[in-house]
């Protein structure tokens, strides 16, 4: 099996991926119907499977995302169905989700029964599904505007108990105003003028609605801040992902919206990645405060 991985990795070396060996293991496991970690005990591919692998490699070399080739993506502890029309979840977003898991777990431990969570712009449903998996005591709501992404989210959230709705994050969940314990979002944040600089694999396969957000990349972030302020209980918190170059501008959105305890957080590579903020009231820190 090691030789098969080497053969595939060599073929993938000229493609868009950063780790041909890892992609080789993913494709081989997919075709063999197993997990990458179990390849060592798997049978060698037969002629039909080798032909299928060659076909997948050829498509990968044209820039088709590995997740679209396998029809799945991994996010924290879960496996998601994924394909055209939905934003492919990134590892960076797992850090934001981990913040939410820790906060909700602490709330439950301190006596909050069934904390209410809203995800704004759920895409494939990755964050909502992960929260449902890791914090089963929470009541989770999610909204998505895109018809295509909503279909993937419905598939991934089936059986999780998540309340999935179709709509715009800017005016979603009017029935929950002032009742939400945590809002989380990974909104689009690329400025429109940066379109040409986005990698072709992303530009051609992730939906524009999930990528671009006005001339400064912060149009959706402002909507998240406004909606979060409407939805959250006094003292409750919002967390939102942003581009690594928005470590000052994204927090400034929440300061400008009158949030307290505005803090920016790094991803695993140490780059600015998401902002958290608290709705005024409920004994939280001072209004407009921004921490580093």
Per the annotation, where are the binding residues for S-adenosyl-L-methionine? 121-125, 144, 186
The answer to whether the beta carbons of residues 135 and 119 sit under 8 Å apart is: no
Rounded distance, CA 135 to CA 139, Å?
9
- Estimate to the nearest angstrom the gap between the alpha carbon of 12 and the chain centroid: 26
| β 180-185/232-241 pair status | parallel
Which residues does the annotation place in the binding site?
Answer: 121-125, 144, 186-189
Q: 274 - beta bridge partners?
A: 241, 265
Angle made by CA atoms 93, 96, 97, in degrees to the nearest 5: 85
Reduced to 3 states (helix: H, G, I; strand: E, B; else coil), residue 88 is coil
The upper half-sphere exposure of residue 225, i.e. CA atoms within 13 Å in the direction of its Cβ, equals 23
How many other CB atoms are there within 10 angstroms of residue 20's CB atom?
20
Six token digits for residue 277 = 């903020």
CA–CA dist 91, 83 (Å, integer): 17
Cα 69 to the center of its chain, rounded Å: 19
Q: State the binding site for substrate.
A: 186-189
With contact defined as beta carbons under 8 Å apart, do 101 and 135 qualify?
yes
Burial classification of residue 184, based on how many CB atoms lie within 10 Å of its CB (0-12 exposed, 13-18 middle, 19 or more buried): buried
- Determine whether 197 is exposed, middle or buried from the number of CB atoms within 10 Å of its CB (0-12, 13-18, 19+): exposed
DSSP code at position 174 = G
């Amino acid at each position: 099996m090691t030789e098969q991985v080497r053969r595939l990795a060599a073929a993938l070396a000229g493609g868009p991926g950063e780790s041909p060996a890892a992609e080789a293991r993913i494709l081989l496991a997919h075709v063999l119907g197993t997990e990458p970690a179990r390849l060592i005990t798997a049978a060698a591919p037969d002629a039909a499977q080798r032909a299928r692998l060659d076909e997948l490699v050829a498509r990968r070399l044209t820039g088709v995302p590995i997740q679209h080739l396998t029809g799945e993506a991994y996010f924290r502890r879960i496996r998601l169905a994924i394909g055209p029309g939905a934003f492919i979840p990134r590892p960076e977003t797992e850090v934001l989700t981990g913040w939410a898991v820790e906060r909700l777990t602490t709330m439950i431990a301190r006596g909050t029964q069934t904390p209410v969570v809203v995800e704004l712009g759920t895409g494939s449903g990755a964050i909502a599904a992960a929260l449902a998996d890791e914090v089963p005591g929470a009541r989770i709501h999610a909204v998505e505007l895109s018809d295509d992404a909503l279909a993937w989210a419905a598939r991934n959230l089936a059986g999780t108990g998540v309340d999935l709705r179709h709509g715009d994050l800017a005016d979603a969940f009017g029935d929950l105003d002032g009742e939400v314990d945590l809002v989380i979002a990974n909104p689009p944040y690329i400025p429109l003028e940066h379109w040409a600089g986005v990698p072709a694999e992303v530009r051609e396969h992730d939906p524009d609605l999930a990528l671009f957000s006005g001339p400064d990349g912060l149009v959706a972030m402002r909507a998240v801040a406004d909606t979060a302020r409407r939805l959250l209980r006094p003292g409750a918190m919002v967390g939102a992902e942003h581009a690594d170059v928005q470590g000052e501008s994204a927090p400034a959105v929440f300061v400008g919206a009158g949030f307290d305890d505005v803090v920016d957080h790094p991803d695993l590579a140490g780059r600015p990645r998401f902002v958290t903020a608290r709705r005024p009231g409920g004994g939280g820190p001072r209004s407009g405060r921004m921490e580093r």
